[in-house]
Amino acid sequence: MKNDIALAVFDLAGTLVEDDNAVRDCLHKAAVEYGLNVTTDEISTHMGTNKIHLYQYLIARTKGNRIDFKNFEIDIDNSSFEDAVKLYERYTEYMIAFYQENCREIEGATETLKWCQENGIKVATGTGFHKDINSVIMESLGWVKDGLIDYAVDLDMVPEGKGRPAPFMIFKAMEYLNVQNVRQVIKLGDTPADMLEGYNAGCKAVIGVMQGSTPIEVWGKYYHTHVLDTVKELPELILSGKIV
């Protein structure tokens, strides 16, 4: 295969799946109900992460414990775990209800996944969702059933739910799909957490997409190698030979 790419790891919401700011808004709605003083912009900046850990992170910040986002999965404030779980459970209710009614792929996503499969590139997804929400998306879109996704990784599949910016979901996909060289892996996403995940894993390419709800002004500050308007441009990028 051109450029020796063995595996493409895609984010879901905002990268392959239409988001319409639903993840942000559901997170914010649950936070407001709890009484957490947080803005939608602050939530948007930190999306793509383990949502229980995100609520722990946001509660810690309101208490004056300002954790560096790069250490998101290292410096976890466990004193707020029980409250964060309650917030997460409420958020999950909102999120599942949304996807049961509004689960749509981003234009060109199926074609890009199919192109990868036809050209010898294995496909995995990684997400900031736990199994309950990830399953609703996969069942709605049928990508696993149709053989377009080889492995759909969620937070319940990695130790302690350590998601982005930790690299473990990428490593989980590599292990399952027997891809032994991270320099044969490309990562695509639309959040700072996606960029840091790809960087921490040492991927061959870390590709940001601008179609997601998080603007490039936010995620573009973090390491990335390429920028696409949408995932449907991935085949052209690969064929151009610009991933080296």
Domain ranges across the chain? 2-19+105-239, 22-102
Tokens of 217: 């002004």
- DSSP conformation letters of 104-139: -BPTTHHHHHHHHHHTT-EEEEE-SS-HHHHHHHHH
What pLDDT, on a 0 to 100 scale, did the predictor assign at position 1? 44
Q: What is the DSSP letter of 199?
A: H
- DSSP conformation letters of 7-62: EEEE-SBTTTB--TTHHHHHHHHHHHHHT----HHHHHHT-SS-HHHHHHHHHHHH
Stated pTM of the model = 0.93
pLDDT tens per residue, range 84-130:
999 999 999 999 999 999 999 999 999 999 999 999 999 999 999 99
What pLDDT, on a 0 to 100 scale, did the predictor assign at position 191? 95
List the beta strands (DSSP E) in 145-225. 151-153, 185-189, 205-209
Q: Are strands 122-126 and 151-153 parallel, antiparallel or unpaired?
A: parallel
Environment class of residue 207 by beta-carbon count within 10 Å: exposed (0-12), middle (13-18) or buried (19+)?
A: buried
User: Are residues 130 and 156 in contact, defined by beta-carbon separation less than 8 angstroms?
Assistant: yes
What pLDDT, on a 0 to 100 scale, did the predictor assign at position 63? 84
List the beta strands (DSSP E) in 190-229. 205-209, 226-228
Which residues of the chain register pLDDT less than 50?
1-2
Architecture of the domain spanning 2-19+105-239: 3-Layer(aba) Sandwich (3.40)
Tokens of 185: 């892996």
Tokens of 99: 């996807």
For tokens 């939608």, name the residue.
40
Environment class of residue 193 by beta-carbon count within 10 Å: exposed (0-12), middle (13-18) or buried (19+)?
A: buried
Q: What is the DSSP letter of 1?
A: -
49 Cβ contact partners less than 8 Å away, ≥ 6 residues apart: 57, 72, 73, 128, 163, 164, 165, 193
For tokens 């793509």, name the residue.
48
Q: Reduced to 3 states, what is the DSSP secondary structure of residue 174?
A: helix
